[in-house]
Each structure stands twice: as C-alpha cells, then as structure tokens.
Amino acid sequence: MEYTNLGRTGLKVSRLVLGTMNFGPETAEDDSHRIMDRAHEHGINFFDTANVYGWQKGEGVTEQIIGRWFAQGGGRRERTVLATKVFGGMGDWPNEDRLSALNIRRAAEGSLRRLQTDHIDLYQMHHVDRATPWEEIWEAFSVLRQQGKVLYFGSSNFAGWHIAQAQEAAKQRGFLGLVAEQSIYNLLTRWVELEVLPAAQHYGLGVIPWSPLHGGLLGGIIRKQKEGGGSRGLSGRSGDALQEHRTSIEAYENLAAEFGENPADLALAWLLSREGVTGPIIGPRTIEQLDGSLRALEIELSADALSTLDELFPAPGPNGAKPAPEAYAW
C-alpha cells in the first residue's frame, strides 16, 4: 500500500480510501466486517462514512456496523483513520440537520456513540450550509477539538469559493481549518479542475474523489451489458450519462483492453495520477471487488496514455487544457 499526507497535515493515509456507503443497504454486516478486515490486511487505513449512510433516518446504520467492528478489538480502531460526516437529516424535528452549532454538537455525539469510539479523526461537512455563519460553525468545531472528540475537519461538495470562505474565517480565529475536500471527480466529471482543485492546493487541502467510476460507467459497463450484466448503469442519471457519453466510454473500454487493464483500475489509476489527489474512495460490495481495486496502485500511465484519456474525456472549459482561470477564457 502507498501512503501520503492528508493535505498539509502530518497525518498519513492510504492512497485508496475505503468507502462504506454500501455497508447495510447492499452488503450484510458480517460481509462488511470481513471487507474492513481485508482492507487492513491490504494496508488500507483510511475509512470514510457518514451519519446518514444506511438511509434509515436517524439510525446511522452504517456507523453502527463500523462501531460493532471496532468493538471486536484487535487494534481495529487504532489502525483506522476514521472519517465521518455531518449535515444530512437525522430526524424530522428542527435542528436535526445542517450545520447549526446545536446540530453539530448533537450529530458528533451521535456518531461517536454509534461508532463506539471516543474521537473522530476527520469530521466532514457533507455539504455547505449557506444559512449558518462561519463564525458559528468554527466555534462549534473548535469546541469539539478542544474536547478531543475531533482531530481534523474537512468539507464535501464545496465549491472553490466555499473553501476560500471557510479557510479565511478559520484563519481569523487562528484555527487550522479544513484539511480535506471530498468531491465528485472522475474522467466523466472533471468540473473540480476549474476551481475546487486550485483552491484546495492553495489552502493545503487533500482532495478525496468520490464516485471515481461515475456510478459504474467507467467500470466496463458496455462490456458487462454485452455479457448480460451491468444493470446498474441502465436507468436514471447513469442511464442518461451512458447514452450521452457512449462513444467515449466504448473507446475508453477498448483503450483499457489494449493496455490489458480492467477499465475500473484504469479510472482509479488516472485519479491517483492527478496532482493534489489524496486518494479516491472505493466502495466495494464484496471482498473480491476490494481485492481487485489494488491493481490501480501498480498502473503507471505514460504521457501518451494521459493525452489519449484527455482526448476521450476533455477537461472542462473552452480552454480546458489550462488551469483556471485561463480555462474559462484565453
């Protein structure tokens, strides 16, 4: 396993992040525990979850599964850099969602209880809350840090402007501020390159891509359809995206075949090659999927391969080959 520092911190994390969103809804608890044990066997030490995962309001199903795994001992908690999130609704009463000081306090206590731990390593805002001032958010977070309940703070789904706002407000308080941003980022969705990546690099945030396979579309969906599988990509937004990008995706799968690689591994390897990326989130439903993802760490993409991928999936903006703000204009 390869490790890197999380943003500008001294914290060492694995370059593949174990996403747990499938634990509960898609993967049974016993299998989820086996996947987490195997992740440690592979050297993956960075686990990501959220209080709303499990999709049963107020239950925190996925956090509970992880908590019962920690409770088995054997150094499971000590060897894990644990990230969870706050924002989503955990009830129908006022102040049971978003980023008020009251909800931050309640949500943190709830996550700690479900996770059966005394601290969260990385506490992430699942979304920006335009209705709550940064002074209130940072005050609430600083209390959690003073209490030893949270070590680092991060964001998710923030725009570059939100990152700047957060960091400047933190600076005024003499606070470390954000150390990571979790964004959707993959070959099909490269919008973060315009502003989010430059902002993250300027302020020293590690970038953690979610949906690295764009809902499975970069995992060999066309081949799987021909073989009678791949149903996950046939409906909703994934189905629309497949129709829109079918020619590029088919060419991409052919390119992966030329390289002798699995399309999913190629997509992860591309993200690992991007400057500023800490590590993509992988969300295995089975141990076999987890084992297979390790191949991405071994793939070295040549300049020609990267150029071909840029041709198939161009960077955003009228001048996307250049970073923002040039990408917007000339």
Which are the catalytic amino acids? 53
Neighbouring C-beta atoms of residue 57, cutoff 10 Å: 14
Q: CB-based contacts of 274: which residues, under 8 Å, 6+ apart?
A: 185, 197
Establish how many alpha carbons lie within 13 A of residue 131's alpha carbon, considering only the half-sphere containing its beta carbon.
7
Give the span between the Cα atoms of 321 and 314, in whole angstroms: 8
Q: Read off the amino acid at residue 219.
A: G
Give the closest residue to 238 by CA, choosing from 186, 315, 312, 194. 186
Q: Read off the amino acid at residue 152.
A: Y
Do the beta carbons of residue 203 and residue 170 sit within 8 Å? no
Give the span between the Cα atoms of 169 and 176, in whole angstroms: 10
Q: Is 155 helix (H, G, I), strand (E, B) or coil?
A: strand
Give the span between the Cα atoms of 124 and 139, in whole angstroms: 15
Give the span between the Cα atoms of 88 and 77, in whole angstroms: 25
Phi, psi of 151 (to 5 degrees): -100, -45
Do the beta carbons of residue 140 and residue 106 sit within 8 Å? no
What are the angstrom distances between the C-alpha of 262 and each of 14, 188, 218?
21, 17, 10
